[in-house]
Amino acid sequence: MNHDIIFNLALAFTFISLAIFIANKLKFSSIPLLILAGMLTGPHAPDLGGISLALVYQTESMDLLARLGVLLMLFYLGLEFSAGKLAAAGSSLVKGGTVYVGLNFARGLAFGWLFFHSWPEAFVVAGITGISSSAIITKLLVELKRTANPETEFILGIMVFEDVFLAVYLSVLTGLLFSGGNLAAREIVPGVVLIFAFVVFIIACGRRIGAALEPRLPAKSAESFTVVVFTLLLLTAVLVETLHIAEAIGALLLGLVMAETVHARRVIQLVSPMRDLFGAVFFFSFGLDIDYRLFGDALYLTLAAVLLTVAGNVVTGLLASWLAGYKSKRGFNVAFTIIARGEFAVIVASLAVTAGASPVLPAFAALYVLVLAFISPVLAKNAPSFYRGYTRLLASLPRPGGRTHSAG
Amino acid sequence: MSIIKEAELPGLGKKFEISLDNGDRVAVVIHDEGMREVYHFPAGEDDPLSSVTMTDQEARQVGSIISGSFYQPRLLEKLETAVADLHIEWLQVEIGSAIAGKSIGELGLRKNHGIIVIAVIEDIKKGRKGKTLINPGPSYVFTPGHTIVAAGLQEKMRQFEGLLTREK
């Protein structure tokens, strides 16, 4: 069937705009709605009374835009949540962040192993369920008017922490996935270690590389600046690909390096509209590939994962904020806010599926993000009432010494 | 002076927290997109009492009003434009001011200082409403607590203001 590329793209963007419009009207995260829009209008769309809703085709051009979307999203992440900011945030954050990310990840790994009995899949599940969505969480904080609260610094600090962790995680993940399925530890380990070392090296030397890069950027002309930044992004993607590292990591690392230059602000302003545009295509195109008929297989997995995520996140969040010195009410605000999952879960799932991991994973990621998108704003909003419930519970429990603890 | 704390909010912008002398805290969040949020935390409270969100332009307007560079009494706006250098001000006679106890005639206010007293508002005491003297004569004696409505050139007004405030 010969269909016009532009027509297809126009259709896709019509649905993308519609999804984002609805998301804004409902004050809902746009990511799950974009995936839904892709599912409902793509090749696997349902038939309504004999009329197929399959309007949009997954074309090569769409694929290209989606890939650019991933690159730009990770580039932006690196720019905004850079390692330099992590170092500035201090040791309490490092302590809390390590505990939070470590425990969450271990939980995801155990959960994934239980369901798939395979380490690469378990590793993917851990990535999907372990890392919060900075986009959704910052939006939530603004909506709930908590941006000036002291614990918000800690929440955003965790986002930065997760971002650096993300670079390391992705490096191990691609090592695992692209080993071609043969999982003899002897063959994977050197590759994984090499990539891991490379990523850690770039993160550690980010400031120095940034300083070397800085005077070479044509900062005066807006046109050449835009073009050079974009070229750098693509070249980095190609370069790391030849080193058998996923291009997404290249983009993230470039972001981390660029964040250390004086141009960081400007690059962020330059990238964010492109990221919004192509990122939306990525989520939509992710939806195009999902057959909702597969949801049956993913349903129990999703529900179990959601329950575990919420429960585990509350516990680890409370523990991490307690370690960082944010107690009682502040800790509850932290724990109930960082539950949102989004762009990262989807990116990991799409990476996994291109490497030939279990086909259930995209459906699982989509459902999981969708369900959490419904739950997490409610949880974040009601964090103070959860805290009140907790203090009331404490007060009603008789203490061994006969004293009752009064709510402070 | 109040203490200003600065904090980076990755993905959002920057936060400035100002502790006021009365114990209240004001937090200003400047978003990367230009939006401003202002929060008021009462003394000892962890949760903000109120907040406002402003666009970049609104924030600049409000900011210039707060900083004092925008202020013009509404009533005098027209006058100000008609006679650019003429200033009319409400000034209080402070206790221990250099001219307290002296009369307008004694000082030769118009001749020596270039100041015209338009009106005097006597202070409000124990529920009694303050009396207003329009165009007081040369016999009027400057009394601490009274409010003087005076007109003059900017330069002269500044000197007159100095006379009314307490001497060191």
DSSP A155-174: HHHHHHHHHHHHHHHHHHHH
* Residue in this structure with the two tokens 């009432």, named with its chain if needed: A385
Distance from CA of A346 to the nearest CA of B (A): 20
Greater model confidence, B72 or A64 = A64
Same domain as B42, residue B104: no
How far is it, in rounded angstroms, from Cα A312 to Cα A110? 12
Same domain, B78 and B159: yes
| Contact call for B9 and A329, based on CB within 8 A | no
Lowest mean pLDDT among A58-62, A287-291, B86-90: B86-90
Interface with chain B: mutation pick from A145, A158, A275, highest number of B CBs within 10 Å: A145
Question: Domain check: are B109 and B159 in the same one?
Answer: yes
Q: What is the DSSP letter of A294?
A: G
DSSP symbols for A183-242: --HHHHHHHHHHHHHHHHHHHHTHHHHHHHHGGGS--S-HHHHHHHHHHHHHHHHHHHHH
Residue A207 is predicted with a pLDDT of 74
Residues B78 and B62 in one domain: no
Q: What is the pLDDT of residue A406?
A: 44
- B62 and B78 assigned to the same domain: no
Cα R_g (chain A), whole angstroms: 22
DSSP A225-285: HHHHHHHHHHHHHHHHHHTT--HHHHHHHHHHHHTTSTTHHHHHHHHHHHHHHHHHHHHHH
- Do B31 and B101 fall into the same domain? no
* Domain enclosing residue B156, as ranges: 74-164
Rounded distance, CA B93 to CA B114, Å? 18
For residue A324, how many C-alpha atoms fall within 13 Å in the half-sphere facing its CB? 31
Average pLDDT over residues A172-178: 75
CA angle (A151 as vertex; A150, A153 as ends), nearest 5: 80
Contact A81 B51 (CB under 8 A): no
Residue B25 and residue B56 share a domain: yes
Question: Could you tell me if B82 and B156 lie in one domain?
Answer: yes
Whether A164 shows a pLDDT value over 90: the answer reads no
ipTM greater than 0.95: no
Quote the minimal CA–CA distance from A1 to chain B in Å.
Answer: 44
Cβ atoms of B19 and B39 within 8 Å: the answer is no
The answer to whether residues B111 and B147 belong to one domain is yes
Q: Which two tokens stand for residue A324?
A: 């960082």
The distance of A154 to chain B (nearest Cα, Å) reads 9
* Inter-chain CB proximity B9 and A152 less than 8 Å: yes
- Where exactly are the structural domains of chain A? 70-394
d(CA A13, CA A34): 10
| From B10, B17, B32, residue closest to A85, measured CB to CB | B10
- Is the pLDDT at A16 greater than 90, yes or no? yes
CA A80 to chain B, closest CA, distance in angstroms equals: 6
- The pLDDT tens digits for B40-54 are 998 887 788 889 999
> Which band of pLDDT confidence, cut at 50, 70 and 90, is reported for residue B81?
very low
The answer for residues whose C-beta is within 8 angstroms of residue A111's C-beta and 6 or more apart is A122, A125, A126, A129, A304, A305, A308
pLDDT above 70 coverage of chain B, percent: 82
Phi and psi dihedrals of B134, rounded to 5? -90, 135
Chain A residues in contact with B37 by the CB 8 A cut-off are 142, 145, 147-148
User: Which CATH number belongs to the domain containing residue B141 in this structure?
Assistant: 3.30.70.1450
Flag if B51 and A145 touch (Cβ within 8 Å). Answer: yes
Mean pLDDT of A90-112: 84
A114 compared with B76, residue with greater pLDDT: A114
Query: Does residue B80 sit in the same domain as residue B31?
Result: no
Asked if pLDDT for residue A403 goes beyond 70, the answer is: no
Last residue of a domain, one of B34, B67, B100: B67
A70-394 CATH: 1.20.1530.20
Distances (CA, A) of B150 to A176, A370, B89, B109, B163: 84, 69, 6, 11, 13
CA angle, B3 then B9 then B11, to 5°: 160
Q: What is the pLDDT of residue A278?
A: 92
**Is B49 in the same domain as B85?**
no
- A276-331 pLDDT, tens digit per residue, is 899 999 999 988 888 877 777 788 888 998 998 899 888 888 888 888 888 778 88
- The mean pLDDT value for A267-275 works out to 87
Q: For position A1, what pLDDT does the model report?
A: 47
Q: Which residue in B5, B8, B50 has the most chain A C-beta atoms within 10 A of its own C-beta, making it the best mutation to test that interface?
A: B8
Task: Nearest chain A residue to B28 by CA: give it.
Answer: A148
In angstroms, rounded to a whole number, what is the distance separating the alpha carbons of residues A207 and A264? 12
Residues B26 and B108 in one domain: no
pLDDT tens digits along A197-228 = 877 787 777 777 877 777 777 767 777 888 88
